[in-house]
Amino acid sequence: MIYSSIIENLKTKKMFAILVDPDKHDRESIRGIGKLAGKDTVDFILVGGSLVSGSVDETVGVLKDSTELPVILFPGNVLQISPRADGILLLSLISGRNPEFLIGNHVIAAPVLRKTNLEIIPTGYILIENGRTTSVEYMSNTKPIPADKIDLAVATAMAGEMLGHKLIYLEAGSGAKENVNSGMIREVRSKISIPLIVGGGIHTPEQIRETYSAGADIIVVGSAIEAGAKHLANLLGSLAEIKKEQS
């Protein structure tokens, strides 16, 4: 089970995930990502995006053929479901007030998901302001929590846990100018007991180290891997040492 393994792993180490957007990679680069993502650095691979026209199912299939790591869906909408994946982060955009992203899409997806063997992991998704309008902000028609409103982020995360979500995900958004600030990560981490994921705007080993030190249990990197295999290899090379530091 993916979630139980996350809980077990976090007892002794920090975790790291790569987000693959099917529209931003071809089959060759997806295959390369799968082969580069070793178990000593990457713990699982997410597939999805705010607006995806490429085949999620095909992307999942290529990854499954290229790696033994769990492949988990990170859906921007109900069309981004593949039964070939191992699990799905069932995202509720709890920082927004658009009912479609709080429950509407989930109602549509539920009968489909019930017919699959996907492990479903309810996840409270919190969008944080990062200095520019992101795809998820535009597509969801919601406003992010301002970066300086730490109290709002903390209260939202606490509510997400109380509602039964198994993970809290602080997201600055794809292509973010600024990642989620350390003060917010630290305060949210101190007020919840479930795993905390942080993503968006994280491109360098220094940012990874700072985000872990602030309290993130799991870091997700997406845009940073789109620079190519060499950049990904360099990032993962640094990551191995960083994870040892944080253990």
pLDDT along the chain (247 residues), means of 10: 97 96 91 89 94 89 96 93 97 97 96 97 97 88 96 98 98 84 98 97 93 97 81 87 83
Q: Please identify which residue in the block is written with the tokens 């109602």.
A: 107
Helix extents (H) in 67-193: 99, 105-114, 135-140, 150-162, 182-191
SS3 of 73, please? strand
Q: State how far the Cα of 185 lies from the Cα of 50, in Å rounded to an integer.
A: 23
CB 147 within 8 A of CB 179: no
Q: State how far the Cα of 179 lies from the Cα of 241, in Å rounded to an integer.
A: 21
Which CATH number is associated with domain 2-246?
3.20.20.390
Q: Are strands 87-93 and 119-127 parallel, antiparallel or unpaired?
A: parallel
Q: Please identify which residue in the block is written with the tokens 């931003």.
A: 24
Q: Please identify which residue in the block is written with the tokens 């000593």.
A: 40
Q: State how far the Cα of 63 lies from the Cα of 81, in Å rounded to an integer.
A: 15
User: Residues 58, 14, 91, CA angle at the centre, nearest 5°?
Assistant: 45
